Amino acid sequence: MISLQDYLKSGQTTLSNLLIENYRRLGLTNDEFILWIQLYKYHEAGNNFPDLAPISANMNCDQKEIYNLLNQLVEKQVITIESEKNLQGIRNDYYDFSAIFTKLEVLQRQQQKKANEKNYEQKVQSLYQMFEKEFGRALSPIEYQRIGQWIEEDEYNLDLIQLALKEAVLNQAYSLNYIDRVLLSWERKNITTGQQVEEEQKRRKRKLLKKEGVKEEKELPNVSLHNWLEED
């Protein structure tokens, strides 16, 4: 059994789990990644251009195979071989490992974009289902197309469409034309977020309270009480 002293003396190589989990998605084979780790181990120990012979022995491969794997790492642009002059003017080669981290960052952005697109598609599907639930029936193809136009052509926020549906339900107006008027009214007032809708609803409540001569402290029922078919 290895002693703690020997374990600590051998040093450690720090690798992000993100890299370990995604090296295959970066196009690396198992052998290529093992070689990359071997080279990176020397890099972290301060040896930026190690002899490949001990690495060949560690991986139980002949040096020709190691050279082939190294060439593949360079071709796949996950490692580069650079050179620089030292203080004595002697040019020294070294391995640059930054390329793989740049590729990993790009991969993460792509995966996040796919996740966002999937989440958006689920929210769109949920919106259609919400319409069918509130209307108590399946939507017609024309109604699907109309809602799709709000999303794709008018580029209304999905949450805003959902709130417009709620306004229609509160007024017992189960009509896309009615909802369209709500959305157009909000658009004219530059209302684009749920918070702005809430502020607009409070403004309407205050206006109604004042009109009816009711004290402002008194809460109104949770209904719209607003005719969206008429202009303010």
Using CA atoms, how far apart are residues 200 and 183, in angstroms rounded to an integer?
13
Q: What is the pLDDT, as a whole number, of residue 20?
A: 96
3-class DSSP assignment, residue 6: helix
pLDDT of residue 121: 96
Distance (Å, rounded) from C-alpha 75 to C-alpha 95? 14
Amino acid identity, position 92 = N
The token duo for 2 is 């290895």
* 6-15 per-position pLDDT tens digit: 767 778 899 9
Q: Which residues neighbour 158 within 8 Å (Cβ) at sequence distance 6 or greater? A: 120, 123, 124, 127, 151
Asked if residues 45 and 66 have their Cβ atoms less than 8 Å apart, the reply is: no
Neighbours of 165 (CB within 10 A): 23
| DSSP single-letter state for residue 138 | P
- Looking at the whole model, is its pTM more than 0.85? no
pLDDT digits (tens, 9 = 90+) for 140-191: 999 999 999 999 999 999 999 999 999 999 999 999 999 999 999 999 999 9
Q: What is the pLDDT of residue 86?
A: 85
* Rounded Cα gap, residues 123 and 114, in angstroms: 14
Q: At what angle do helices 141-152 and 176-188 cross, to 10 degrees?
A: 10
Q: Distance between CA 216 and CA 223 in Å, rounded?
A: 16
Please report the pLDDT score of residue 11 as a whole number: 82
Q: Give 59-94 as a DSSP string.
A: TT--HHHHHHHHHHHHHTTS-EEEEEE-TTS-EEEE
Those residues of the chain that have pLDDT short of 70 are 7, 213-232
Q: How far apart are CA 182 and CA 228, in angstroms?
A: 6
What pLDDT, on the 0 to 100 scale, is given for residue 214? 54
Distance, CA of 50 to CA of 79 (rounded, Å): 14
Domains parsed from the chain with CATH numbers: 15-103 (1.10.10.10), 139-212 (1.10.10.630)
How far is Cα 175 from Cα 137, in angstroms, rounded to an integer? 12
